[in-house]
Amino acid sequence: MNTSSQERLQLSPIVAGLWRLNGWGLDAAATVRWVEQALALGITSFDHADIYGGYRVEALFGDALAAAPGLRNRLQIVTKCGIQLVHPARPDTRVHSYDSSRAHILASVDNSLQALRTDRIDLLLLHRPDLLMDPDEVADTFRQLAAAGKVLHFGVSNHTPSQLALLHKRYPLVTNQVELSPLHMQALADGTLEQCVDLGLRPMIWSPLARGALFTSGSEQALRVRAVLDELAARRAVSPATVAYAWILRHPSRPRPITGSSRLQALEEAVAATALSLTAQEWYAVWQASMGHEVP
């Protein structure tokens, strides 16, 4: 397998997620300041999808890049395509569905490039598995986009190991973006992270704090996990959120967690986790609290 493209892709250990950008109430100037703050913390990668914010988030970020053109060469843009939403911005879509056809991918990339005010996407992901995917057509489309310089690297999101393997055999992918948190651990059990280790693909992790439920839910699982996180946080003199990020980073697949907040403190807590190494016993204490039982 050709791994040179993987080696050339440089994403930051923590990735800034933009899916809520349209709800942050930031104008272009304020978004520029937020991006500058993220860059100062070492967060250089920004995660998008064409559908975020009702197909609006990419354009909002593009407004910021247009207001400060020097930013583009200091950061990496990740975006996703393949989900078809029934939305006024896409009047031809009548059924919520997935589409990995050549025509849809090419059109999505062109739309994203225009919205983001850029000439290239650093990493394009297929957002969800398409049951009708023709892997040979997708691979050929990726080659076409790479040859045109429109997309530099490719990956998938929310794909099972077999779905990733089907495409990776035909075109070298660089990541699988999946959900993982101390409250949602399917990726640890279904072979997803083992495959990433085996293939040398660093996974990207969405909702590392379980959409905030890690610290707001009153479920028995969340209460058990919070108790362990609080204990470890007090022992290490960091925040519980930092411990949660460190728990993800501890996995040998070398995950890249994606934040989802505009708050500078939230970004700082995520970055602080890169300097915190949990022991195996600490990691398993969190796992046990989540599962509600000891390891078999």
Q: Which are the catalytic amino acids?
A: 52
Element (H, E) at 188: helix 186-189
Structure-token pair, residue 252: 């040998």
For residues 289 and 276, what is the distance between their CA atoms, to the nearest angstrom? 20
Helix, strand, coil shares of the chain, percent, nearest 5, are 50, 15, 35
Q: Does residue 258 contact residue 46 with C-beta atoms inside 8 Å?
A: no
Burial degree of 239 (CB within 10 A; 0-12, 13-18, 19+): buried
CB-neighbour burial class of residue 11 (10 A; exposed 0-12, middle 13-18, buried 19+): buried
Q: Which residues contact 76 (CB under 8 A, 6 or more apart)?
A: 10, 11, 12, 44, 45, 46, 122, 123
Q: In which residue are the tokens 């297929």 written?
A: 126
Which among 171, 169, 153, 164 has a CA at the least distance from the CA of 192?
A: 164
